């Protein structure tokens, strides 16, 4: 009887990709994969440390595994394991803590792991690592769209960010490996690839062969075996939109009209304290240029609330700035002091109640913006991919448009993973309704 393994992922798309790689390795070694809530022989928690909340939920999942089966092997890996391995190792039930460099070899460590009552820590320093480790996968279970990891690490030292410590230096996949992975996923039926990395816009800067993200996109778009897919980009920093990249994302219909471009603050003094390499004026010009060049484009932004020294005036400046921009939505984060970062030592730190109130205000603004963004497309045909899930309230299928609108439509399971045209018929605050269209 095969051993059972359960995996849980916290944090970013990169972690999700790496969990899929681990899952395939486990299956190849004879493990049966079961839901995390089930009784398993091995639990693997792929942790996150970007915020205090990420650390907290990582520890919570470790406790959940230990309570579900105290006799199981419990493994912590990922960014929290990389940054603070001793803390995770001190938790009851933890048997192995594996860093991000060693994550790809985790299955080999399991072969000799036993329940000894004390943990083993395998975490190496990342600062000197210069090579990207290819991790090819065949499937993305539970997802209609597949993530494709093309880059790792970050050389930019924002004053609040622990990611360079957790992930190391900028490292890029070789173009041939990216194409090979893309072909493998498409051969297994995926209709959309989401290119992902820690610092996606720096792709290729570390490679001997001169290439950048725009050139990689061109290679993917001109490959005959990939001619039917659509490509979506995950987050790209504002300063990394070269003329060539702008041209590709605004003129190629197979690149989804959806860009996530971190802002973090609309106040120039706060941006400077964050060590962000742009001004609010630069960001405005970029967003307005991209939106004017690409019809139907959805632009989203990350915003950090309550950065040290953020006065009420600073926050209101950010609020008004965002309000005036053609952004479709926001991802709002409360500033979380990460030990080892410059911002953790800055003063004054902002009271938690103030941060919560500011977060509420920006999230309400985001809801208003996304509502008005969706209303622009009433009764218009939009290309969409039908996802493998149904709306909990109506039971309808969910079709994801290229510009990131989830439209609830009627239809049978045969439509799942199909590219269709949809028309939005009604826009509610928390839901978008539509129908499959023969227009377009």
Domain locations in the chain as residue ranges: 4-122, 146-375, 381-437
% of the chain at pLDDT higher than 70: 99
Choose the CATH number for 381-437 among 1.10.240.10, 2.40.50.140, 3.40.50.2000, 3.20.20.10: 2.40.50.140
Tens digits of residue pLDDT in 11-36: 888 899 999 999 999 999 999 999 99
- Give pairs for 425-433: CB < 8 Å, separation 24+: 425/378, 425/379, 426/378, 427/371, 427/374, 427/375, 427/378, 429/367, 429/371, 431/391, 431/393, 432/374, 432/405, 432/406, 432/407, 432/408, 433/394, 433/396, 433/407, 433/408, 433/409
Choose the CATH number for 4-122 among 3.30.230.10, 3.40.50.2300, 3.40.50.12160, 3.40.720.10: 3.40.50.12160
Output the DSSP codes for 311-342: -HHHHHHHHHHHHHS---EEEEEE--PPTTSG
Measure the CA–CA gap between 134 and 131, rounded to whole angstroms.
Answer: 9
Q: Say whether 146-375 and 4-122 share the same fold.
A: no
pTM of the model: 0.93
- Please report, for residues 358, 405, 409, the alpha-carbon distance to residue 333 in angstroms, rounded to integers and kept in the order given: 10, 22, 32
Element (H, E) at 149: strand 146-149
Position 143 confidence tier, pLDDT thresholds 50, 70, 90: confident
Residue-level pLDDT at 320: 98
Position 1 confidence tier, pLDDT thresholds 50, 70, 90: low
pLDDT at 131 over 70: yes
The CATH classification number of 146-375 equals: 3.80.30.20
Contact 44, 8 (CB under 8 A): yes
Contact 331, 417 (CB under 8 A): no
Residue-level pLDDT at 2: 76
Determine whether 33 is exposed, middle or buried from the number of CB atoms within 10 Å of its CB (0-12, 13-18, 19+). middle
């Amino acid at each position: 009887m095969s051993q059972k393994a359960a995996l849980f992922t916290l944090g970013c798309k990169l972690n999700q990709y790496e969990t899929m790689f681990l899952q395939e390795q486990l299956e190849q070694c004879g493990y049966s994969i079961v839901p995390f809530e089930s009784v398993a022989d091995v639990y693997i928690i792929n942790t996150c440390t970007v915020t205090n909340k990420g650390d907290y939920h990582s520890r919570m999942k470790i406790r959940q595994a230990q309570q579900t089966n105290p006799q199981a092997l419990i493994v912590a890996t990922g960014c929290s394991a990389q940054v603070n391995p001793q803390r995770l190792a001190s938790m009851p039930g933890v048997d192995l803590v594996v860093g991000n460099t060693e994550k790809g070899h985790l299955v080999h460590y399991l072969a000799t792991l036993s329940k000894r009552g004390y943990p083993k820590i395998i975490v190496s320093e990342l600062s000197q690592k210069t090579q990207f480790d290819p991790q090819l996968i065949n499937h993305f279970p539970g997802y209609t769209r597949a993530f494709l990891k093309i880059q790792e690490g970050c050389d930019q030292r924002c004053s609040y960010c622990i990611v360079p410590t957790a992930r190391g230096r900028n490292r890029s996949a070789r173009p041939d490996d990216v194409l090979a992975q893309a072909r493998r996923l498409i051969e297994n039926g995926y209709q959309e690839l989401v290119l992902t990395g820690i610092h996606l816009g720096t792709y290729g800067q570390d490679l001997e062969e001169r290439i950048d993200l725009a050139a990689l996109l061109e290679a993917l778009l001109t490959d005959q075996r990939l001619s039917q897919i659509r490509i979506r980009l995950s987050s790209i920093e504002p300063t990394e939109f070269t003329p060539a990249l702008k041209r590709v994302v605004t003129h190629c219909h197979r690149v989804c009209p959806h860009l996530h471009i971190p802002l973090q603050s609309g106040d120039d003094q706060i941006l400077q304290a964050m060590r962000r390499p742009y001004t609010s004026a630069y960001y405005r010009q970029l967003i307005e240029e991209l939106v004017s060049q690409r019809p139907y484009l959805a632009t989203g932004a990350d915003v950090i609330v309550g950065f040290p020294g953020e006065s009420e005036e600073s926050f209101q400046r950010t609020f008004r700035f965002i309000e005036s921009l053609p952004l479709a939505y926001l991802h709002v984060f409360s500033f979380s002091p990460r030990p080892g970062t410059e911002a953790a030592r800055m003063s004054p730190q902002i009271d938690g109640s103030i941060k919560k109130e500011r977060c509420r205000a920006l999230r309400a603004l985001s809801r208003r913006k996304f509502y008005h963004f969706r209303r622009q497309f009433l009764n218009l045909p939009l290309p969409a991919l039908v996802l493998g899930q149904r709306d909990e309230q109506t039971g309808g299928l969910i079709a994801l448009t290229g510009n990131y609108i989830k439209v609830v439509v009627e239809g049978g399971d045969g439509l799942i993973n199909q590219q269709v045209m949809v028309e939005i018929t009604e826009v509610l605050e928390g839901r978008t309704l539509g129908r499959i269209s023969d227009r377009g």
